[in-house]
Amino acid sequence: MLKIDTPLTVPAASAKEYIKNYRLITKDTGRLFLFAGDQKVEHLNSDFSGPDIDAEDQDPEHLFKIASQAEIGAFATQLGLIDKYGRDYKQVPYVVKINSKSNLVSIKDHDPISYSWYSVNDVAKFKKQSRLNIVGVGYTVYLGGEYESEILREAAQIIKDAHQNGLVAIIWMYPRGKNVPNEDDINIIAGGAGVAACLGADFVKVKYPYTGQEATAKEFRKVVAAAGRTKIISVGGSKLSPKELLTNIDQQIHIAHTNGNAIGRNLHQYPLKEAVKLAKAIAGIIYHDYPLAKTLKIMEK
Amino acid sequence: MLKIDTPLTVPAASAKEYIKNYRLITKDTGRLFLFAGDQKVEHLNSDFSGPDIDAEDQDPEHLFKIASQAEIGAFATQLGLIDKYGRDYKQVPYVVKINSKSNLVSIKDHDPISYSWYSVNDVAKFKKQSRLNIVGVGYTVYLGGEYESEILREAAQIIKDAHQNGLVAIIWMYPRGKNVPNEDDINIIAGGAGVAACLGADFVKVKYPYTGQEATAKEFRKVVAAAGRTKIISVGGSKLSPKELLTNIDQQIHIAHTNGNAIGRNLHQYPLKEAVKLAKAIAGIIYHDYPLAKTLKIMEK
Amino acid sequence: MLKIDTPLTVPAASAKEYIKNYRLITKDTGRLFLFAGDQKVEHLNSDFSGPDIDAEDQDPEHLFKIASQAEIGAFATQLGLIDKYGRDYKQVPYVVKINSKSNLVSIKDHDPISYSWYSVNDVAKFKKQSRLNIVGVGYTVYLGGEYESEILREAAQIIKDAHQNGLVAIIWMYPRGKNVPNEDDINIIAGGAGVAACLGADFVKVKYPYTGQEATAKEFRKVVAAAGRTKIISVGGSKLSPKELLTNIDQQIHIAHTNGNAIGRNLHQYPLKEAVKLAKAIAGIIYHDYPLAKTLKIMEK
Amino acid sequence: MLKIDTPLTVPAASAKEYIKNYRLITKDTGRLFLFAGDQKVEHLNSDFSGPDIDAEDQDPEHLFKIASQAEIGAFATQLGLIDKYGRDYKQVPYVVKINSKSNLVSIKDHDPISYSWYSVNDVAKFKKQSRLNIVGVGYTVYLGGEYESEILREAAQIIKDAHQNGLVAIIWMYPRGKNVPNEDDINIIAGGAGVAACLGADFVKVKYPYTGQEATAKEFRKVVAAAGRTKIISVGGSKLSPKELLTNIDQQIHIAHTNGNAIGRNLHQYPLKEAVKLAKAIAGIIYHDYPLAKTLKIMEK
Amino acid sequence: MLKIDTPLTVPAASAKEYIKNYRLITKDTGRLFLFAGDQKVEHLNSDFSGPDIDAEDQDPEHLFKIASQAEIGAFATQLGLIDKYGRDYKQVPYVVKINSKSNLVSIKDHDPISYSWYSVNDVAKFKKQSRLNIVGVGYTVYLGGEYESEILREAAQIIKDAHQNGLVAIIWMYPRGKNVPNEDDINIIAGGAGVAACLGADFVKVKYPYTGQEATAKEFRKVVAAAGRTKIISVGGSKLSPKELLTNIDQQIHIAHTNGNAIGRNLHQYPLKEAVKLAKAIAGIIYHDYPLAKTLKIMEK
């Protein structure tokens, strides 16, 4: 069984809860397969309706069906959706995505800012009231803009408060804006990962400059190193073929030594059955160290 | 009797109140006919005095007379008016419109912002003190501007607090500002509806790009889908002939499958008697599934 | 005796106090003669020293002498002056003007903003501590600028809190700034009056586009109508001859059907004796329905 | 013994403390000789090191030595210095200068703003904890800029809170910024003094447009009049010869009828002995109504 | 044993704790050797990976290894790192660096602002909960920009709160931004040091305009004088050769009479063994008054 050193901001009274949550979402591997479903705000309707998107995805409940049937570690989404569907999907481990913004405001015109919608205490109260299995909170940090200082303060407080309540704290870390010429610069990504470590995040979701090349994966070790005991999970990004996606994840986990992935569109834009199958393949890499070939075979079934 | 799953942010102690309110305003149909009377701030005096507006509309009490005599689900207005007239109109189900701004500031010069005037706890306290039949709160969200993040945070808190108090939460959702080139784009309207769902709204009032065409109504199903368990109510918009209005509502309800309407100017710019008659026709569609022809006949009386 | 329906935001425990205050300042007529003395901040020294201004006006105590000797309904000024002079003028009914700004910042450069200096609870505490006869609070709203939303929120809270404490709430309502091309547009003034009604104000002080013409007074009825149960009091404006002023007030009260006036410079720029005499004439119109001729005779004495 | 009418914002429980403080700093004359020593922030190092400045002034303790040995009414400085030196200078009556800003930001580029560093409650708590003789608080108001409204709100709260705690409230009042073309305009200075009166300040420190001319001093009576029961103390300004300074103060007190002075650089830029002697001369005018000639003789010793 | 006068903002109940912390970090010399390790946010990854940086530095744990093995006074870093590594490095005296910002936003475009991530009460609670040896807090002040006033207020509160809790308060003081043409101007540095004194800081970390010239060190006495009883510690700055660094420190301590140094990159960019050796040499100067030659010999071993 994975040995878990609870962070020191987790008080003794919440340690058991924290360890239970950590074990659950990492399935005792220390790695996390996060189903990230916050795009209804972040990308509005464009991720849910279009030529390459299955019609099932138009209904928000599609997300909950995937979350309940697929072999994921946790499902991250806004509290408002959990409010309406949670009653029917009680078994899902939820990460409450505590802030979100739309994509209408151009980053060129206005540095990004996305205040938390709820305090962690709101979430903890909701957890108690709803008896749902809420295991953590998620918060997006935009580094490098006019609001950076406000954002870092909010992030630091949220992580501390999450730990106080025994919740796992996950940071979406995006150096972004007119001061960040190249979001794909691995040194910048490593810098962001280091900031997440200084904030005390348990996991940090970072961009992976996709190439499918082993060289990239090797270079990416720098990001993993910079984060220290804060664990790196890579974003899935825009839609890839299952083979491309799985190859990518395999390289991330086994070459770059990241600790998991956050997959959104690459799951929910498929019909439920396909999504569940793909999740099985992804979980194979993340949780079971399946070789790539074995996961590709899952997809062929 | 309509089965109502209370949202999970409604605590057990408030569930009965929430269900009572929900049943009352939807008359147990799940649909809502909202009399929206917040224009004295939103449009200042221009909706209440002019060549095509009945003189009765100059007196704010006109709104309360309509609200008390017409077959509406609820009457939404600012607390200050309720403060002065509520004593004489105790039977009206009120939705407190918790924020409002004037139309003096041009959206081109300044992204829209409209802070809530009261906390939901203020409203709950007022309800208790006044013994009025306050059933919900209304809040306008402007998506896509400089203040979006502040607005979303305020909306999320208000919805949560409304539910804590057993009140129905209704969002006026307007993607608006210099970053929103076309407010009539159905994909953008669907995006806004999805955001309301992520916020946990019970009803979301959205723009309906009026054409009177069945094709539009069919395309609008996308908006209804995007909102999931959050129910869509369309705005009435600027003044139409009763026939145009009723045709529109009929298509919205029976083709687009929306769950109601919010009508303001199309009621209160008429003299009381006319307004009550028109409301009867509208309620016929929304609450009784009357065929369009039958509602048109009501108007002929 | 005037029947007073207390607003619903006045709780039962404060109703008696509210009615007492309302009766006192309206002398049971429903009309208000407000001595508005907040110009030491709003206009700095220019209203108190100059060729047409009596030397007595240089001393702030002049305001208190008028307030205590003239037949006014209430005296509105900043709490700091009351702090220093109230001990010697205990019989005056005070309205605490809760916000004020200087005239140094040009409206063209910067939209107007004037935060409240005190909470209503501060005022209520001061009332209890000082045992002064504080009957209400006054707050200026600037409509149409960048800060409109903050201002409306503050106004709504102040009115609610005033009522909670049994105090009468008076709004100074000024649509103003670069988005308001014509402050004298009666439709805009009516719009502002309607906003005050939606905020729950008891009285709203609005600009009166002075002409001395009956036609203007008739058109101004639109403003009175728009405010509904919120009562209109017109500003006195810059200094007029007593005859002009009284004619104006007479037309406002008896043709436009406003409910009183707020007079500042037109009182305090006179020596005490003159001010008291002029106030007697004004009170004649407002409180006693004297015909204009009779009030002009008062001035001749 | 001077009769002191405590302001009405001073509660009964604090009246004795207020009167004690007021008597102490005015030495029962109603006039105040304030040693103003907040320049280490306001002017950084330029007031403490330079060709015409004595080397003793480089050490912050120099200020405390003067404060403890010279015949001043009170010493105003930042709490951080009092924190470090107060233990050795317990007998000094301290005014805590509650806000300060550096002179690095040009007024032309950015309207001045200087938030209070501490609440008055912080100061009151510190007074109790340290057992120092803290007699009042000082706060700088910048009138006429973008932040005026925030500043006035903060000033009003600080004065009220000072009085609640029995502390004397002193305002540094500076109409300043791009909207104030001439800071030396006596009408503007009078306006600022009137604002301080409306805020309820006990003393207001204002600029004195130095000329050494009796005509100026006579015109300055307008400022004294505008402030009413709030007492005017003039700033010392940049370094003058002792004779110029004393002549100036003599005219201010005996012609303009101000109630004291605030002297900073004109004391601490001298060596301790000289400073103490000059202070004796100044105190001679302010507290003992010495004729100018007598004070000049003190300097000759 | 060093006599320590606790600042007056340290209450009696916290005096023992304050003195214990002060003695510990100054090793009873009154001087401080601070290992400053906040660069993972301030400089992102560029201080931890590069041609002249040892590979050990990529792992955040490297900082903790140095902190636990080198003869430092205290280790300053963000709470998030302490959260993850503190359990394994319990013996280290920690200074929680309470604010931090990245270097992505150009000072030319945007005046610097860096809000505190935590309140001092958060830190005090964490200390109690974690039982770590937290001895102080650190906070960066940027003087001279648009946010100066907010920053000074936050700094003043943090220092006061630190003292309330018996913690040593250390200010990183940087006059910076478009209004500060020359950060190396010793008069400006002295001004900043004086501001720290007015804030009540115990130590202030300031820039030292490195030259290795005795003349500079002599001129720097002005900075030490301006800070009075607040002690000056100089920054180490960018990487120097050990000889240059030690010469510099020697001149600072023995000529300029500063009270210590804050060294970051000049320690952690070396492998652990080298860093420990260099720290021994630095501590030799700061804590033991070793002559420079003796410390250079340490490096030769």
Catalytic residue list contains B205: yes
pLDDT band at D181 (very low <50, low <70, confident <90, very high): confident
pLDDT at B125 over 80: yes
Closest chain C residue to the Cα of D196, Cα to Cα: C80
Nearest to C115 among D11, D153, D160 (CB): D153
**D/E Cβ contact: 3+ pairs below 8 Å:** yes
Q: Which of C201, C170, C2, C197 is nearest to C93 (CA)?
A: C170
What is the per-residue pLDDT for E181?
86
pLDDT reported for residue A135: 98
First to last CA, chain D: 32
pLDDT digits (tens, 9 = 90+) for B93-114: 999 999 999 999 988 889 999 9
- Domains of chain A, by residue range, sit at 12-300
CB contact B151 to C (< 8 Å): no
**pLDDT digit string (tens) for chain C, length 301 residues:** 789 989 999 999 999 999 999 999 999 999 999 999 999 999 999 999 999 999 999 999 999 999 999 999 999 999 999 999 999 999 999 999 999 999 999 888 899 999 999 999 999 999 999 999 999 999 999 999 999 999 999 999 999 999 999 999 999 999 998 899 899 999 999 999 999 999 999 999 999 997 788 999 999 999 999 999 999 999 977 788 999 999 999 999 999 999 999 999 999 999 999 999 999 999 999 999 999 999 999 998 8
> What pLDDT was estimated at residue C212?
81
Q: What is the pLDDT of residue A27?
A: 98
| D174 catalytically annotated | yes
pLDDT score of E39? 97
Look at B227 and D240; give whichever has higher pLDDT. B227
In this prediction, residue A145 has a pLDDT band, given cuts at 50, 70 and 90, of very high
Q: How far apart are CA D189 and CA D173, in angstroms?
A: 8
Architecture of domain A12-300: Alpha-Beta Barrel (3.20)
Residues C11 and C161 sit within 8 Å (Cβ to Cβ): no
Buried b (16+ CB within 10 A) or exposed e, A140-167: bbbbbbbbbbebbbbbbbbbbbbbbbbb
Q: For B126, which of C5, C9, C196 is closest by C-beta distance?
A: C9
Q: Are E112 and E142 in contact (CB under 8 A)?
A: yes
The rounded distance, in Å, linking the Cα atoms of B290 and C179 is 46
Contacts of B230 in chain A (CB under 8 A): 80, 84
Interchain proximity E46–A156, CB inside 8 Å:
no
The pLDDT tens digits for D63-83 are 999 999 999 999 999 999 999
Please pick, among E18, E85, E142, E174, the residue that the annotation labels catalytic: E174
Spatial separation of the C-alpha atoms in residues D258 and C194, rounded to whole Å: 48
Secondary structure element (H or E) that encloses residue C137, with its range: strand C134-143
Residues B195-215: tens digit of each pLDDT: 999 999 999 999 999 778 899
Residues of chain B with pLDDT > 90, as a percent, come to 91
D75-D78-D80-D86 Cα dihedral, nearest 10 degrees = 10
Catalytic residue among B205, B208, B287, B290: B205
Give residues 221 to 240 of A whose Cβ lies within 8 Å of B.
none
pLDDT band at A181 (very low <50, low <70, confident <90, very high): confident
Residue to test with chain E: of A3, A5, A6, A9, most E Cβ within 10 A: A9
Nearest to A11 among E48, E80, E129 (CB): E129
> Is the predicted pLDDT of residue D290 greater than 90, yes or no?
yes
pLDDT (0 to 100) of residue D223: 98
Q: Does E187 touch chain D (CB under 8 A)?
A: yes
Q: Dihedral, CA atoms, D266, D272, D274, D280, nearest 10 degrees?
A: 80
Could you tell me the two tokens for A44? 């509005």
Among residues D205, D208, D270, D287, which one is catalytic?
Answer: D205
Give mean pLDDT in consecutive 10-residue pieces for chain E, a chain of 301 residues.
Answer: 92 98 98 98 96 96 98 98 98 98 90 97 98 98 96 98 98 94 94 98 95 91 98 88 95 97 97 98 98 96 80
Strands A203-206 and A168-175 come out as: parallel
Q: Quick one: what percent of chain B has pLDDT higher than 70?
A: 100
Distance of alpha carbon A77 from alpha carbon B195, whole angstroms: 12
Q: Do E226 and D100 touch (CB under 8 A)?
A: no
Residues from chain A contacting residue E81 (CB–CB below 8 Å): 197-198, 200, 228
Smallest Cβ–Cβ distance between D200 and the set C80, C114, C129 belongs to C80
pLDDT(B159) > 90: yes
Q: Using CA atoms, how far apart are residues E177 and E112, in angstroms rounded to an integer? A: 7
Reported as a single tens digit per residue, the pLDDT across A283-293 is 999 999 999 99
A222-244 pLDDT, tens per residue?
999 999 999 999 997 778 899 99
- Residue A170, H or E segment: strand A168-175
- Please write the tens of the pLDDT for every residue from B4-42: 989 999 999 999 999 999 999 999 999 999 999 999 999
| The predicted structure's pLDDT at residue E210 | 78
D82 closest CA partner among E103, E199, A138, A240? E199
D54 touches chain E (CB under 8 A): no
Of the listed E205, E208, E270, E290, which one is catalytic? E205
Model pLDDT, residue E109: 83
pLDDT at res. E237: 73
- SS3 track for chain B: CCCCCCCCCCCHHHHHHHHHHHHHHHCCCCCEEEEECCHHHHCHHHHCCCCCCCHHHHCCHHHHHHHHHCCCCEEEECHHHHHHHHHHCCCCCEEEECECCCCCCCCCCCCCCCCECCCHHHHHHHHHHHCCCEEEEEEEEEECCCCHHHHHHHHHHHHHHHHHCCCEEEEEEEECCCCCCCCCCHHHHHHHHHHHHHHCCCEEEECCCCCCCHHHHHHCHHHHHHHCCCEEEEECCCCCCHHHHHHHHHHHHHHHCCCEEEECHHHHCCCHHHHHHHHHHHHHHHHHCCCHHHHHHHHHC
pLDDT at B146: 93
- Residue with the bigger pLDDT between B177 and E76: it is E76
Identity of the highest mean pLDDT range in A177-181, C137-141, D235-239: C137-141
Share of chain D above pLDDT 70, in %: 100
CA-to-CA distance for E208 and B236, rounded, in angstroms?
68
Cβ B172 vs Cβ B138: under 8 Å: yes
Structure tokens at C171: 């709004």
Task: Return the pLDDT at D46.
Answer: 95
